[in-house]
């Protein structure tokens, strides 16, 4: 194995795992009860967590049904381009054999925290059912 191939093993493995997960969730429908366990947080508290609906969103995205995906969990859909972008940068760094020199601006990470916390609260508020899964 050349050194470039060895460096690219990480991104390749991540892509393979992601493809396997999307393939599985796309094939085994989370809309049917009993296919997947319930979200532990929902199970224990009765409130939605920020990740509730993500399996159904992934299933919808695997079937290219973006509208349904946004209906189930808009933040999951929004996370996909972010994760793809991160993966692309990681792959490019790995291919060139460079270390990471860029750190996201702190306000962006704090905003992400705010978005997720706000989403968590708001999707449990009556009247904002479009945010609930």
Partner 1 sequence: MSTDGPYPPSAPEPEPGTPSWPAGGQQQPPYGGPAPYGQPGPAQPPAYQQQPGAYPAGYPAQPVYGPPAGPPPDNFLVWAILSTVLCCLPLGIVSIVYAAQVNDKWLRGDVAGATESARKAKQFAIWSAGVQAVVLVLIGIFYIGIFALALGTASTAP
User: Residue 44 CB, nearest distance to partner 1 (Å)?
Assistant: 9
Q: Which two tokens stand for residue 101?
A: 């020199």
Contacts of residue 99, Cβ cutoff 8 Å, sequence gap at least 6: 93
Q: Following DSSP, what letter does each residue of 17-61 receive, concatenated?
A: HHHHHHHHHHHS-TTSTTSSPPPHHHHHHSSPPTTTTHHHHHHHH
Closest distance to partner 1 from the beta carbon of 110 (Å): 5
Tell the smallest beta-carbon distance from residue 40 to partner 1 (Å).
Answer: 4
Binding site for partner 1 (CB under 8 A): 34, 37-41, 43, 49-52, 54, 58, 73, 75-76, 79, 82-83, 86, 99-106, 109-110, 112-113, 116-117, 120
Closest to partner 1 by CB, 44 vs 67, is 44
């Amino acid at each position: 194995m050349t050194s470039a191939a060895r460096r690219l093993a990480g991104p390749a493995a991540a892509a393979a795992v992601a493809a396997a997960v999307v393939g599985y969730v796309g094939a085994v429908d989370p809309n049917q009860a009993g296919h997947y366990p319930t979200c532990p947080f929902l199970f224990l508290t009765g409130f939605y967590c920020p990740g509730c609906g993500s399996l159904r969103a992934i299933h919808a995205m695997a079937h290219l049904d973006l509208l349904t995906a946004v209906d189930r969990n808009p933040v999951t859909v929004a996370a996909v381009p972010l994760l793809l972008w991160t993966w692309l940068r990681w792959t490019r760094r790995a291919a060139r054999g460079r270390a990471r020199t860029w750190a996201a601006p702190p306000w962006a990470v704090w905003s992400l925290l705010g978005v997720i916390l706000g989403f968590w609260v708001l999707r449990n508020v009556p009247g904002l059912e479009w945010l609930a899964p």
